[in-house]
Amino acid sequence: MSDAVRLLHISDPHLFADPQGELRGVRTLESLQHVLEHAMAHRRGAEAVLCTGDIVNDQPDGYPHFARLLGGLGLPVYCIPGNHDDAAQLRAALPGAPFQVGGHVDIGRWRLILLDSCIPGATRGHVAATELQRLRETLAGSDRHVMVCLHHHPVGMASHWLDPLGLDNAEELLGLLDAHRQVRVIGFGHVHQCFETRRQGVRMIGTPSTCVQFLPLAERFAVDRRPPAYRRWTLHADGTVDTEVVWVDGAAGQSVSRSAAGAAAASGAAATQGA
């Protein structure tokens, strides 16, 4: 059994059926490919990839692009749906190894629990009663350290437009997790920015997108200047965690300037297109 578990974490690729498809001026497939190339060139012993949702941007015909790129890495790929995904079509597109959609996986001294927090047709999130029950059973079935992964943020981001698009039953989820001291970290996507806080000793960590980032602490929607990114995790056997975000500047697929991206703004309704 290895001393530590090392993961590469990507989130919110927002792929389109058209390989040239763009989200707010970024060709998302090219950007994902560039991020993956960087991540694999600097993998540092990573033994799996985690993807926390919004694999496509409402176009299930984008899933084959994801399957091709990630399926060729030679690593297990653990996925959960985001609000822009169709969960059934995601599972159909990634039916077996190296992919796993949902469920849980045990690696070393750790258990990764992959939660579905999506409401069909809605941007905000909700962990359904069936998922909460599965979570209870999965937590009770192991004494390993636990990392819980979901798409929607279960904690406020101090962002007026983004906070209502998080998990609407966050207190129910967090109350359940409070009863299980082996939970060490909660990782999520959806927010397109780097974020970390602690709650009752549990680290709560958001991971940026492989394409476009959102401006932190924003009253209204705005696109950040920061480049595409991925996260590295090292989950130690004693339950401690090391993590870092790697920003991939000069990523392929970017057709707008950083200054223009940083100044971009839209109404709350338009903002949900990429959230």
Unique residue bearing structure tokens 């009663």: 129
Task: Say if residue 140's pLDDT is above 60.
Answer: yes
pLDDT of residue 251: 61
pLDDT band at 2 (very low <50, low <70, confident <90, very high): low
262-271 contact pairs (CB < 8 A, 24+): 262/215, 262/222, 262/223, 262/224, 262/225, 263/222, 264/24, 264/222, 264/223, 265/220, 265/221, 265/222, 265/223, 266/221, 267/220, 267/221, 268/161, 268/220, 268/221, 270/221, 271/161, 271/221
DSSP state of 97: T
- What percentage of the chain reaches a pLDDT higher than 70? 91
Counts for the chain of helices (H) and strands (E), in that order: 7, 14
Report the distance separating Cα 85 and Cα 253, nearest Å.
22
Contact 177, 40 (CB under 8 A): no
pLDDT of residue 275: 82
Report the distance separating Cα 271 and Cα 56, nearest Å.
16
pLDDT band at 273 (very low <50, low <70, confident <90, very high): low
The one-letter code for the residue type at 65 is H
State both tokens at 133: 């029950």
pLDDT of residue 141: 82
pLDDT of residue 253: 53
Mean pLDDT, range 81-89, rounded to an integer: 97
pLDDT tens sequence across 48-74: 999 999 999 999 999 999 999 999 999
Report the distance separating Cα 41 and Cα 128, nearest Å.
38
pLDDT of residue 258: 32
Helix (H, G, I), strand (E, B) or coil at 136: helix
| Chain centroid offset of residue 7 CA | 13
Report the distance separating Cα 135 and Cα 223, nearest Å.
34
CATH 3.40.50.300 given to domain 4-271: no
Contact 16, 59 (CB under 8 A): yes
pLDDT tens sequence across 202-218: 999 999 999 999 999 99
Task: Say if residue 1's pLDDT is above 70.
Answer: no
Task: Say if residue 266's pLDDT is above 90.
Answer: no
Least confident residue range of 23-27, 111-115, 167-171, 255-259: 255-259
Sequence ranges of the domains in the chain? 4-271
